[in-house]
Amino acid sequence: MKLIELIIDDTMEVSGIDAVSIVSSPAIEENWIALKDQNKEYKFAEVSKEKKIIMGALLVPDKPIYRNDEQEGEYYIYFSKDTIRQCMEMFFKNGNQSKATFEHLETISGLTMVESWIVEDTEKDKSNLYNLNVPVGSWVGTIKVDNEVIWNDFIKTGIVKGFSIEGYFADKAKTPLSKVEDDTDKEIEAGLQILELIEDIKKKIQLAKISFDFDDTLSTPKGTELAKKLIKEGNDLYIISARHLKGGIIKKAKDLGIPLSRVYATGSNVNKIAKIKSLKISQHYDNNENVIKQLDGIGKLFTNGK
């Protein structure tokens, strides 16, 4: 059976890891990588329940991973230590530390990688304190979980058990490999478990793109508290204002942890409405009744009363 090394190809327009996923059982699929059922022995550990921080292996070097697809048939893939280090470096250079998914099916917010390293000594490495038992050359990361739904319904309950990666890689064919355990049954079992979770995921992780007008809406104490509540629930928040400049809005965005890439000063209500629609916002809070009337049901009139 073939053993194929996956590598990062600098000539490819898209290459490397672009997201981390939390999964019920970590695997790898095709050249687009999605660890879902492979590293079952490398489950993550809770570093801090109070701070909601978890730690786990993202990639383990030289570990044969079973694959089976229509084009190639059965084969194994693996990552070298050099490629794993390159993956980690590119992940942060591309600013992907806050990109996360659930079972490679749902994009989620509120997960941020706050630590990352390559294991160089298994006895002295920090991962050893948490009994991760990963070999030298492994990529380990810790993630801060600010998404209450993910933490309470999936991590604390033990439904998700490990990290995974998503990305694009080139491959380099190697010599046939023998005496490697066939993981087909494990793959099927994991697939069935994921299918059972899909409906529950859709019900519980109803992540939305929600936007706020700024003046007399998000700028008010009531609007700020509502925004905090929605962020805590795991929603992606945007600020879309009719102001001409972002200057007065940026501090509020930073205080709430809203990326500046989600802050818009459109210059007019007409442009604001157009921007809300183009971004496919699912709900917009605004104190302007005329704006609400033109948002086709997604607008929610904001009043500052008690």
Under a CB-based contact definition with an 8 Å cutoff, are residues 275 and 298 in contact? no
C-alpha distances (whole Å) from 72 to each of 166, 173, 264 are: 20, 11, 47
C-alpha distances (whole Å) from 74 to each of 27, 52, 61, 64, 298 are: 15, 39, 20, 12, 48
pLDDT at 109 over 90: no
pLDDT at 12 over 80: no
96-110, 171-185, 275-289 — which one is most confidently predicted on average?
275-289
Question: pLDDT at position 200, please?
Answer: 58
Q: How confident is the model over 133-187, as pLDDT tens digits?
A: 889 999 988 889 888 888 888 888 877 778 877 777 777 655 555 444 444 455 5
| Look-up of token digits 């694009």 | 168
Q: How confident is the model over 185-200, as pLDDT tens digits?
A: 555 555 556 556 655 5
Q: Tokens for 206?
A: 């109803």
Q: Tell me which residue of 27, 54, 51 sits closest to 154, measured CA to CA.
A: 54
Tell which wins on pLDDT, 257 or 13: 257
Pairing, β 16-23 against β 100-102: parallel
Is the domain 209-301 a CATH 3.30.565.60 member? no
Q: What is the mean pLDDT of the chain?
A: 79
C-alpha distances (whole Å) from 247 to each of 2, 135, 242, 288 are: 58, 49, 13, 21
Tell which wins on pLDDT, 1 or 80: 80
Under a CB-based contact definition with an 8 Å cutoff, are residues 98 and 111 in contact? yes
pLDDT (average), residues 259-285: 92
pLDDT at 263 over 80: yes
Q: Is the pTM of this model over 0.85?
A: no
pLDDT at 206 over 60: no
- 164-181 burial, b if ≥16 CB within 10 A, otherwise e? bbbbbbebeeeeeeeeee
Give the three-class secondary structure for 277.
Answer: helix
Query: Where exactly are the structural domains of the chain?
Result: 2-204, 209-301
pLDDT (average), residues 117-146: 89
C-alpha distances (whole Å) from 73 to each of 53, 69, 95, 181, 254 are: 39, 5, 35, 16, 50
